[in-house]
Structure 1
């Protein structure tokens, strides 16, 4: 009996040893893979990617150059503050008997484009107002520049109705001035609402 037990016992021990050997090989590979993965996580990825080159387009370059332009001089601002009121003195007044008087008088103060637009304008009196007289103009720069500027104008006026009664009022305008051939001229104007100046 000792012979077959020894044979079986020897076979079992041999199979156990082979199983341990195979198991240790698999376990060694698993540990090696985990170690390699841990090292890979610790090391930064150094793949070289092409660097994107930025070249500003023409618009961005021109906008940057525009930002670097010097501010308007005090002399420019003084000239503009003379031109706008002179224009308003001929543009704002209104008389129902001669509604187009403003047109020829405003010609020296406006650009050709604005003059053409004013030619199309037909001024009429209202049911109550037959005459408007300019009293005072307050100016405030809205957007300053070397070639064009925007100004807010608060214009005090006196309206006369059909019965000869007068009442004071304020007109709020926004006025665009443009440098044309070395002179500042009115290029556009419009009524300023709360949307322009809250």
Structure 2
């Protein structure tokens, strides 16, 4: 009895598989026909009204925006290095020397932030001396500008050995009472400036 049941069961499974194959062929043909019919129908775009833009007052003012003068750029290029000459150098024996010296070059907001800053040496550096600075404008404006500063420094470790490196800063300068002052600064990473 087991032999005829296996034979019938095998035949039923084979017929089911054949029926599934035939059904999938018909379904595939139906889908292809629907896609072909959709391609043949002309596509009519929706008629949307086209919005007409007129320049507003702000846009008109922006078109007439003044660019920074050469004198402004020269003044900024003098202020930033002067500030960096007092901010970048570090001595572990007197870490807060930079604070009073930087006051003429910074805005009130930055000065308050610098008062909260606690500078200290690292395991590999107890003294830092600025050698050179290269500036490049990042975003120019009449009252606010951003500048990239590549600062060449010399570090001295506890044993008196020196090595040099480059610090990359981004510096924000603003116009305060007719003078350019540093308002913010941070380390420039490759993520910000590839």
Q: TM-score, normalised by structure 2?
A: 0.71
Question: Any gaps of 5 or more consecutive residues in structure 1?
Answer: 1-49
In structure 1, C-alpha distance between the alignment counterparts of 2:148 and 2:113, rounded to whole Å: 20
- Choose from 109, 121, 129 the match for 1:113: 109
- TM-score, normalised relative to structure 1: 0.69
The CA deviation at 1:62 is: 2.9
Provide the aligned length of Structure 1 versus Structure 2.
146
Query: Runs of 5+ in structure 2 lacking a partner?
Result: 1-48
Alignment of 1:74 with 2:70, yes or no, is: yes
Structure-1 residue corresponding to 2:80: 84
The equivalent residue for 2:61 is 65
Alignment CA distance shift 1:52-1:94 (3 Å): closer
By how many angstroms is 1:68 displaced? 2.4
Match of 1:173 in 2: 169
| Segments of 4+ moved more than 6 angstroms | 50-53
Distance 1:51 1:170, change over 3 A: closer
Task: Return the match for 1:158 from 141, 145, 154.
Answer: 154
